């Protein structure tokens, strides 16, 4: 299992290095990099935008990706220690990446775009969990405000509490929050399918 995790990390890092060495490329799925607002910075929010077409393609591609990763991971298990064995392992990893790109291509992905979609989907799920925690915290804002009246609190502690209250009351009126909310609506439609492929 550790080898499979290692191959996933290696295969995730190689495209990131390659992406940073070249300019912005077009996504194989039209609309994946579509802007949602008028004043968005590519670096800030475009990488968060999910489309329904992208999620459908991801659901179809994930089982194939998982199976290929497991097979390719087995090939890398025999890599030993030493410079030459490490170099040989690097060549094997590049071959594995080409193989993964090949199996993902019919679904409209490359390894790079598949991993971006993976990150966006799980980033959105993480945001959803964070929203639940924030709702619970919002229920405690009244109690936090009452704590400010406690004379035993130092000025520093009061300042921290005030900042926490301010952050909680600020709300989710950010471009990132709006994108995640749109992503959540898409993921809700495919929640069962996503749960099935991940288990």
pTM of model > 0.85: no
Compute the average pLDDT of residues 101-115.
93
Quote the pLDDT of residue 34: 42
Average pLDDT, the chain: 76
Task: For residue range 23-72, list pLDDT tens digits in order.
Answer: 444 444 554 444 333 333 434 566 789 999 999 999 999 999 999 988 88
pLDDT band at 3 (very low <50, low <70, confident <90, very high): low
How is the chain classified by DSSP, letter by letter? -HHHHHHHHHHHHHHHHHHHHS-PPPPSSTTTT---SSS--HHHHGGG---HHHHHHHHHHHHHHHHHHHHHHHHHTT--SSHHHHHHHHHHHHHHHHHHHHHHGGGT--HHHHHHHHHHHHHHHHHHHHHHHHHHHHHTHHHHHHHTT-TTS-HHHHHHHHHHHHHHHH-S-SHHHHHHHHHHHHHHHTHHHHHHHH-
Task: For residue range 144-184, list pLDDT tens digits in order.
Answer: 888 888 888 899 998 998 888 887 777 666 788 889 889 99
Taken in order 43, 48, 51, 54, is the CA torsion positive or negative?
positive
Quote the pLDDT of residue 153: 87
Domain ranges of the chain: 2-198
Q: Hey, what are 86's tokens?
A: 């490490």
CA distance 87 to 64: 27
How far does CA 152 lie from the centroid of its chain? Answer: 43
Quote the pLDDT of residue 171: 64
pLDDT over 70 at 84, yes or no: no
pLDDT band at 83 (very low <50, low <70, confident <90, very high): low
Compute the average pLDDT of residues 113-124.
92
* Higher local confidence (pLDDT), 78 or 11: 78
The rounded percent of the chain whose pLDDT value lies above 70 is 68
Structure-token match 């993921």, residue found: 187
């Amino acid at each position: 299992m550790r080898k499979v995790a290692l191959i996933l990390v290696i295969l995730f890092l190689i495209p990131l290095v390659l992406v940073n060495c070249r300019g912005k490329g077009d996504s194989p799925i039209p609309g994946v990099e579509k802007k949602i607002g008028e004043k968005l910075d590519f670096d800030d929010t475009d990488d968060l935008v999910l489309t329904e077409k992208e999620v459908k393609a991801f659901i179809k591609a994930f089982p194939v990706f998982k199976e290929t990763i497991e097979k390719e991971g087995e090939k890398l298990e025999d890599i030993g220690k030493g410079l030459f064995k490490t170099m040989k392992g690097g060549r094997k990893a590049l071959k594995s990446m080409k193989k993964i790109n090949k199996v993902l291509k019919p679904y409209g992905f490359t390894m790079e775009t598949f991993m971006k979609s993976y990150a966006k989907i799980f980033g959105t799920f993480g945001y959803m969990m964070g929203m639940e925690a924030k709702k619970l915290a919002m229920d405690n804002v009244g109690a936090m405000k009452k704590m400010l009246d406690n004379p035993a609190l130092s000025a520093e502690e009061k300042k921290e509490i005030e900042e926490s209250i301010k952050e909680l009351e600020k709300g989710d009126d950010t471009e990132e929050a709006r994108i995640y909310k749109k992503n959540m609506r898409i993921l809700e439609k495919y929640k069962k399918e996503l749960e099935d492929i991940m288990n």
